Structure 1
Amino acid sequence: MGVRKNILITGASAGLGEQMARDFAARGRDLALCARRLDRLQALREELVAAHPGITVTVRQLDVTEHARVFEVFDAVRAEFGTLDRVIVNAGGGKGRAIGTGGFDTNLHSAQTNFVAALAQCEAAVQIFRDQGHGHLVVISSMSAMRGLPRGMTTYAATKAGVAALAEGIRADLLGTAVKVTTVFPGYIVSEANPAAKPKPMMVSTEQGVRAMVRAIERERPQAKVPAWPWVPMGFVMRHAPLRAVARFS
């Protein structure tokens, strides 16, 4: 497959999604940017078109937990562009509470946003890709998916493990076809979407982290831990270290 010209990104109004839009715009791609905050999307569109006059950028207001709306928006973007070459399932959130401490509503919202809504996005995207005979599904997971994590990270890590398994299952179903599936596992990346996150060792800037993400996405490999250093070896450590050590680190 050649260049993936038409790219849809969810969660594009802030954080990693916003920066991915900038990086792909700089590569000359046409973009469909989706998020709840239409004003932020419109401002981003103006910025990108001014910086890269040759590209097309369309914006759609979308709350990914409104599942029927996900299908409507994805289909509308495909109709507008004629073909949809890549969908990046990025929308999500990191709020959580330790299990059994009265935070069920918070954890439920995280599960619905990070997993159930991702399922809707994957369903809508792959339906389009099957129909047109090609496409690239990109699912943004997290290094948190490597292990079960304690405290406020428990539900978040579980949802990110869930979407990684979902993407792998889709990949298995589409082996040998022109529909490719990539799962991206970002490490600690500074993001406007999680401003309350405490600085951590090995944390990189949004720009540096997203550059690594975009390079991985462009390679279209099945999985990518990003940035590769230190997260490829850290992934091995997280998988195999005693749970007590993983719990302290997190």
Structure 2
Amino acid sequence: MRKNILITGASGGLGRGMAWEFARRGRHLALCARRGDRLKELRDELLAAHPSITVAVRELDVTDHAAVFEVFHSFRAELGSLDRVVVNAGTGEGSPVGTGGFERNLRAVNTNFTAALAQCEAAMEVFREQHSGHLVVISSMSALKGFPGALTAYAAGKAGVLTLAEGIRADVMGTQVKVSTMLPGYIRSESNTHEGQRRLVVDTETGCRRLAAAIEREPARACVPAWPWSVLGVGLRLLPLRVTSRMGAVARRAEGPRARTAAADHAG
């Protein structure tokens, strides 16, 4: 059993929800995010509900790459080991390419891919020294296809971490280090209501419960929730680009410029 679990972007959204799910399973937690005050509140709530677990917290901006390595190693020293690291921190911001939003798109790619690489590097350093561990990368269903508008850079970054995790998995295949990629669909959270796709949305608690359950199985890849996203994922890869272009236009009209898939809401 993976006893000590590190989650980045844990102060809100999917990260916070996963923290609660693993606390209910009696796991010790190492939680980090930019919003230190919210992390401390979460720690206090978790310990009040589950006094037998340990909850360590650190304030961390994952785009500060040196700090990522420092925080991960300090968590390992405090808990004695890291058994699972969930690379969850991310951002959903973005603009259509060529419309003056380069800085926004650059932040999206730097956070969702480059910072994720730093987290994977730090986690794998620990796991290689321990000769065991479970690396979990939170990607997105949007990683499976190019999307228009505000989703373009976001989807590209999430496609990058999907491929990154697959390469790491190939590198450690046959060892005691496991690598899983999660592809969340529409999960409602504090800044993602998905009103335009109501029939496909699950609430935060249900979504995070299924996400934690999928992580516990340690698959190479999982769409979450499995139904209908495992089926939709196959169709998404096969759809002509003109169809996904229309889907993006519908999403923009329904939700405005912040339209995106649920995995965007885990910046912490």
TM-score higher than 0.5: yes
Shift of 1:198: 4.4
| Partners of 1:115 and 1:75 in 2: CA distance | 21
Residues 198/107 of structure 1: CA separation in 2 closer, same or farther (3 Å cut): farther
2:210 to 193, 209, 212: 212
2:57 to 53, 56, 59: 59
The residue correspondences of 1:73-112 to structure 2 (distance < 5 A) are 73-112=71-110
Partner of 2:223: helix, strand, or coil? strand
Aligned partner letter, 1:11: G
| Partners of 1:195 and 1:126 in 2: CA distance | 31
Whose RCO is larger (CA < 8 A, sep 6+)? 2
Structure 2 residue 152 is the aligned partner of structure 1 residue 154:
yes
CA offsets, 1:29-88, max 9 Å, x none?
000010011100000000000001100001000000000000000000001111100000
Aligned partner letter, 2:225: P
CA offsets, 1:208-250, max 9 Å, x none?
1111111110000100001000000000110001111122223
Shift of 1:196: 7.0
Tell me which residue corresponds to 1:35: 33
Shift of 1:4: 0.3
Shift of 1:166: 0.2
Tell me which residue corresponds to 2:189: 191
| Partners of 2:234 and 2:193 in 1: CA distance | 28
Residues 218/196 of structure 1: CA separation in 2 closer, same or farther (3 Å cut): closer
The residue correspondences of 1:174-185 to structure 2 (distance < 5 A) are 174-185=172-183
Aligned partner letter, 2:246: R
| TM-score under structure 2 length normalisation | 0.91
| Partners of 1:154 and 1:162 in 2: CA distance | 12
| Partners of 1:105 and 1:196 in 2: CA distance | 25
Instruction: Identify unmatched segments of 5+ residues in structure 1.
Output: none
| Partners of 1:13 and 1:73 in 2: CA distance | 16
Tell me which residue corresponds to 2:244: 246
Aligned partner letter, 1:144: S
| TM-score under structure 1 length normalisation | 0.97
Structure 2 residue 15 is the aligned partner of structure 1 residue 17:
yes
Number of equivalences: 247
Please state which structure has a larger fraction of its residues in helix.
Answer: 2
> More deviation in 226-235 or 194-203?
194-203
Aligned partner letter, 2:67: R
Following TM superposition, the consecutive aligned residue runs of length 4 or more in structure 1 with deviations greater than 4 angstroms are none
| Partners of 2:246 and 2:196 in 1: CA distance | 16
CA RMSD of aligned residues (A): 0.9
Judge conservation of contact 2:32–2:57 (CA < 8 Å) in 1. yes
